[in-house]
């Protein structure tokens, strides 16, 4: 069986007509009918009911259609991924979620540029979920994100678990926990700003899942567009918010940051690449991450997720 036979079959199902399918595929109708019959003979099943108009697919045909679409999609993705891998020696496109700009991403990219001046780096802001599609289509070659998502075509490495902190105004009553740290169960009555609003899932949904995992329900969660708004509102005395600890470098005035003691209160930082991609830029970037982590006294986890 050839891929073109699957393409013929899928087009006839979708067009519900041999004539329209033949037009779409730019082939004559009789050879298309013959190829469909040959496919039926090869499979030993009827894919279409006989004598019906519009063309009606059988139960077995419907099952085969679902799988044929998957095979064709998979083949198209494998093609574009392979083409991208072969083109990637000179330029690496790196997708990242914006909050990583406050974390160690700038240092890692700076080191990569310095070590490999012949490789151009293009940075593309892209949510963790969108990175999966962008890797498949070749829009990016590496993705740095914060969410726990899986896809069979994508390999993900957990690099580290960044602790979360509570941002509060310096005169807020919770400052008494500045030294000791605080549990999430102690902030349920506060107005908590979460961010960003879109695209979902995002840091806001991840924070919500931590509360849920702990069986906690905050009384008032208010969604705002982005982290600067959340911190600005906290600085105005309107409420509190959770941040990845590196975001405390943003430097909004009059804020203090309190460690959160629950073990679950972390944000995973991960690297996504195309499955089976053996390109040399992957160990190169991992070496840079390792070097920056070493400078910062961070243990690199390197776990498949």
Distance CA 290, CA 200 (A): 30
The residue to which tokens 């679902």 are assigned? 66
| Least distance between ligand BEZ and beta carbon 266 (Å) | 12
Binding flag, residue 92, ligand BEZ (CB under 6 A): no
Binding flag, residue 269, ligand BEZ (CB under 6 A): yes
Binding flag, residue 126, ligand BEZ (CB under 6 A): no
What's phi and psi for 241, nearest 5 deg?
Answer: -155, 160
Binding flag, residue 140, ligand BEZ (CB under 6 A): no
**Count of residues engaged in binding ligand BEZ, rule: CB under 6 A:** 10
| Residue 100 or 204 with smaller CB distance to ligand BEZ | 100
Query: Which span (78-86, 102-110, 178-186, 188-196) binds ligand BEZ, by CB under 6 A?
Result: 102-110
What do you get for the CA distance between the two ends of the chain, in Å?
35
C-alpha distances (whole Å) from 118 to each of 22, 86, 90, 149 are: 49, 16, 7, 33
Tell me which residue has its CB nearest to ligand BEZ: 103
Binding flag, residue 134, ligand BEZ (CB under 6 A): no
| Residue 269 or 282 with smaller CB distance to ligand BEZ | 269
Query: Which span (36-44, 103-111, 164-172, 187-195) binds ligand BEZ, by CB under 6 A?
Result: 103-111
| Least distance between ligand BEZ and beta carbon 102 (Å) | 8
| Least distance between ligand BEZ and beta carbon 259 (Å) | 17
For residue 170, which of 236, 220, 242 has the smallest C-alpha distance?
A: 236
Q: Residues 141-170 vs ligand BEZ: string with x where CB under 6 A?
A: ---x--------------xx----------
Strand blocks (E) in 139-232: 142-145, 154-169, 191-194, 220-223
Distance CA 183, CA 190 (A): 13
Binding flag, residue 94, ligand BEZ (CB under 6 A): no
Task: Supply 305's token pair.
Answer: 């997720």
DSSP label at residue 240: E
Residue 96: beta bridge partners?
125, 144
Binding flag, residue 273, ligand BEZ (CB under 6 A): no
Contact (Cβ atoms closer than 8 angstroms) between residue 126 and residue 95: yes
Binding site for ligand BEZ (CB under 6 A): 100, 103-105, 108, 144, 159-160, 269, 289
């Amino acid at each position: 069986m050839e891929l073109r036979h699957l393409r013929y079959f899928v087009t006839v199902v979708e067009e519900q007509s041999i004539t329209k399918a033949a037009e779409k595929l730019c082939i004559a109708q009789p050879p298309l009918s013959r190829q469909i019959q040959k496919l039926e003979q090869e499979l030993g099943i009827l894919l279409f009911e006989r004598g019906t108009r519009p063309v009606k697919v059988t139960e077995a045909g419907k099952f085969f259609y679902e799988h044929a679409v998957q095979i064709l999609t998979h083949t198209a993705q494998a093609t574009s991924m392979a083409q991208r891998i072969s083109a990637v020696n000179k330029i690496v496109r790196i997708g990242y979620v914006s909050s990583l700009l406050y974390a160690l991403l700038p240092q890692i990219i700076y080191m990569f540029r310095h070590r490999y001046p012949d490789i151009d780096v293009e940075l593309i802001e892209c949510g963790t979920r969108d990175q999966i599609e962008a890797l498949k289509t070749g829009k990016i070659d590496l993705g740095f994100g914060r969410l726990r998502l899986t896809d069979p075509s994508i390999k993900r490495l957990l690099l580290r678990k960044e602790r979360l902190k509570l941002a509060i105004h310096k005169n807020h009553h919770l400052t008494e926990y500045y030294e000791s740290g605080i549990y999430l169960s102690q902030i349920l009555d506060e107005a908590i700003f979460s961010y960003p609003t879109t695209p979902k899932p995002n840091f806001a949904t991840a924070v919500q899942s931590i509360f849920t995992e702990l069986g906690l329900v905050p009384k008032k969660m208010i969604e705002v567009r982005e982290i600067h708004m959340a911190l600005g509102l906290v600085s105005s005395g309107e409420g509190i918010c959770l941040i990845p600890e590196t975001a405390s470098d943003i430097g909004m005035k009059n804020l203090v940051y309190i460690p959160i003691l629950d073990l679950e209160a972390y944000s995973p930082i991960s690297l996504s690449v195309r499955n089976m991609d053996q390109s040399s830029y992957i160990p190169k970037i991992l070496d840079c991450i390792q070097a920056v982590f070493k400078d910062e006294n961070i243990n690199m986890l390197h776990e498949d997720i």
